[in-house]
Structure 1
């Protein structure tokens, strides 16, 4: 016998709360749709002013996406996605977009619809799919992403079978990914050929077996450390038993040509501070305890701030100055961008050819895209001696970015000295450089059309191949009793 809770009838208070939840959900969807509408409007306004630059490396689409990313303080990739969704809502799926604006579907569902209908090229087919999905989508929000994909694909398959998004063959989907985790560790996952996997597994066992029985590590720990030895190009694993009579023991780590930079305070190395360290380009922090263990076999180089140092008499900064700027900035200094400084250009805030100086107070890390945006798309910047950068975008909005080291390593942000202001305005100093803009071999629209056509062609080939196999299988002649089948 089960005891059931006594269900009380709804009260005006609970009814009002549920209504507020539903209204908030609808308002959230409407706000997300309004954001995309505004982004599409911004693109069309910019298009009126900047035409004929489709073959630029940083074309109008990329420039607007970067402006959106700066406004929302997000990365360039996410800003590009928002613009792509906005243009799909405006031009490809207006009926679904109307449902989105009304709050009948949410952003998650709209994203899935845009992705699953991306390969439709025939306008009549797209209009039919748009109408069918718009009629059914308000009943789908409770579905998982997998079920949503299936429901959308069924509609697409009836109208345009070659436009159904299919997963790639497993042989094409091989990869290895290294993802930073917590406390200075990383997770390595991937999918490789079976032969490669077996060879790697055997090699890790071989390296893990090159230490003596007194090594204190477990087998799994030795296999993990064997990856370090492989990266260093070593043919054995360093034994850590510590015995002078161990034939496998060595107090030096094999030399390699792979260098990983870690930024840390001196106090964390000395044991007088618990400030964590960072690997430039990684979001994970390394605790002081792990840092001291890593430092035992690492080369230590001090990063000395060039406080009141004179400008260097050349365009390219010295190694010491470049290292300081990258350690100070850690990432690209454009608003919202997290591209690692190690892979960025070192940009002269005031251009070198316009009397800008090669000095820490005039250098910062900029990824190549934001560097081109500054050079060709009217992004203007001002840099303070502590590394603070004040950006002014083409619409006049201003954004302030601080060096990435400001929170953990404030000593790197000590003002490095004021520089004399060169003559002329920022606009005059940058000048008109559109003639030097790198060009694309194919426009963005041409590249996208080629990619869609290639995926549609693969879908068609796989579909017809399966159809031929089905026709062959079901048309097989009957086999007399006692005779083997013809396969």
Structure 2
């Protein structure tokens, strides 16, 4: 494709590709915004404004399924599209032409978010549309500086004030390679100092013959501290270790689930185990952990039959969680620990059986329950755990059990059931059962804007110009 191209041709392809990319992103966001507008104008949207899962969430689920992204990302894209259509239409036209980058658009949407006067917002939109094409080379800080200049000039109380450093406290954990994970965050200095000392104290509870380095002991100390164990397990291997008497593994309320083949645990095989959300754990680590863990065999789906009750037995529930691993709605990856076990065909029409059970997070469980029937979501489950979803727009999406990728035996088809069509669930009065919001989404947004503008007004009153 590129062999016969001149330097000029390649540069032109790059420029054209960049412009097409911008146009495509704008098309996606604006389409999401238009779909949202259309659905929010319906009578049902007003009736469901107080629902926990309102029409916005319902549209976000459909967008997430179509794009193969999470519910949160879909909601963000809908919001950007609506903002470009309703609040910054001139900037939206410029974006759709391919003249500006996506990061300019999302920065402008956020930095102008506190403007409530329509005329002032139009004036800012006009200036952005006139100037933004020349900002593609600007850094994030420069973009904020220029957009804030326009906002401050026209509506000083709408400038986004920097958050205090203390407001940005957070702790994050992310998966890493080879059965490891990374922990990072931002905490108060006093808490960091206490945390640092506590790791040192725990790392010192082993004897001097422990083979680990100080850094390794501090890392392992985090596991003991998280489990509420007062001392670390010494690894010197001596039966007369002076730290041994204090290294008992007291039972705690901290539980993690590791999914492994029996041969890995016994040493007959070296297949890695799975720690959901973090990936593979080396076989050697699994066997070390197994010495102090509670082992619980997972009963295969073929060995499980229909149960004469709504709530599945522990064995059946464990199989469903290990097979699915995450919520089975398209685009959702919430882990098994945060999901419900759902009957695809509602009980008692559909049995409590592996071929009729799957995991759904609470959001998508409510969505399936209250947005079903004519013009809503429908799902069909196959014996191997595959679920075929049909959206309100008639589009179909297929999800397969997450555990089957790592342990194919979990994908073995269970009994094929003759199930009736799931009944429509949108009968009158059903909405009364939906958990309700205290305030609608629109009220929440208006309150946040009033609160933030109020802080700016109070700040200006306390320190009037010149500053």
Is TM > 0.5 for Structure 1 vs Structure 2? Answer: yes
The equivalent residue for 1:404 is 402
> Map of 1:306-385 to 2, 5 A cutoff?
306-307=301-302, 309-353=304-348, 355-377=349-371, 378-385=376-383
Q: Distance in 1 between matches of 2:82 and 2:143?
A: 22
Instruction: Tell me if structure 2 keeps the 8 A contact 1:389–1:401.
Output: yes
After superposition, the C-alpha distances for 1:229-286 in whole angstroms (9 at most, x for unaligned) are 2222222222111112222125753322100111122233344444332222x14332
Task: Report which stretch shifted further, 188-197 or 427-436.
Answer: 427-436
Give 1:217 deviation, angstroms: 1.1
After superposition, the C-alpha distances for 1:139-176 in whole angstroms (9 at most, x for unaligned) are 11122223222222222222222222233212222222
Matched residue of 1:199: which SS? helix
Q: Distance in 2 between matches of 1:270 and 1:96?
A: 63
Give 1:429 deviation, angstroms: 6.8
Q: Distance in 2 between matches of 1:83 and 1:20?
A: 30
Task: Report which stretch shifted further, 126-135 or 242-251.
Answer: 242-251
Matched residue of 1:189: which SS? strand
1:45 counterpart = 2:41: no
Q: Distance in 2 between matches of 1:155 and 1:284?
A: 47
The equivalent residue for 2:85 is 90
Matched residue of 1:352: which SS? coil
The equivalent residue for 2:454 is 457
Q: Distance in 2 between matches of 1:18 and 1:175?
A: 43
TM-score by length of 1: 0.88
After superposition, the C-alpha distances for 1:446-481 in whole angstroms (9 at most, x for unaligned) are 01111122222223334444548x76xxxxxxxxxx
Instruction: Tell me if structure 1 keeps the 8 A contact 2:345–2:419.
Output: no
Matched residue of 2:405: which SS? coil
The equivalent residue for 2:250 is 254
Matched residue of 2:192: which SS? helix
Q: Distance in 2 between matches of 1:117 and 1:268?
A: 56
1:229 counterpart = 2:224: yes
1:417 counterpart = 2:411: no
> Map of 1:21-420 to 2, 5 A cutoff?
21-49=14-42, 50-52=44-46, 53-249=48-244, 252-280=248-276, 282-307=277-302, 309-353=304-348, 355-377=349-371, 378-420=376-418
Q: Distance in 2 between matches of 1:156 and 1:305?
A: 62
Residue 442 (structure 1) aligned to one of 439, 442, 448: 439
How many correspondences in the alignment? 456
Matched residue of 1:345: which SS? strand
Matched residue of 1:275: which SS? coil
Instruction: Tell me if structure 1 keeps the 8 A contact 2:387–2:399.
Output: yes
Q: Distance in 2 between matches of 1:18 and 1:228?
A: 53
1:17 counterpart = 2:10: yes
Question: Aligned in 2, Cα 1:283/1:236: closer, same or farther, shift over 3 Å?
Answer: closer
Instruction: Tell me if structure 1 keeps the 8 A contact 2:301–2:410.
Output: no
Matched residue of 2:258: which SS? coil
Task: Report which stretch shifted further, 183-192 or 28-37.
Answer: 183-192
Matched residue of 1:303: which SS? coil
Matched residue of 2:380: which SS? strand
Instruction: Tell me if structure 2 keeps the 8 A contact 1:252–1:297.
Output: no
Instruction: Tell me if structure 2 keeps the 8 A contact 1:181–1:187.
Output: yes
Question: Aligned in 2, Cα 1:97/1:199: closer, same or farther, shift over 3 Å?
Answer: same
Larger Rg: 1
The equivalent residue for 1:481 is none
After superposition, the C-alpha distances for 1:320-339 in whole angstroms (9 at most, x for unaligned) are 21111111101110111111
Instruction: Tell me if structure 2 keeps the 8 A contact 1:305–1:416.
Output: no
TM-score by length of 2: 0.92
Give 1:48 deviation, angstroms: 4.5
Instruction: Tell me if structure 2 keeps the 8 A contact 1:216–1:241.
Output: yes
Matched residue of 1:407: which SS? helix
Task: Report which stretch shifted further, 332-341 or 235-244.
Answer: 235-244
Give 1:191 deviation, angstroms: 2.4
Task: Report which stretch shifted further, 457-466 or 210-219.
Answer: 457-466
Q: Distance in 2 between matches of 1:320 and 1:465?
A: 64
> Where in structure 2 are there 5+ consecutive unaligned residues?
none
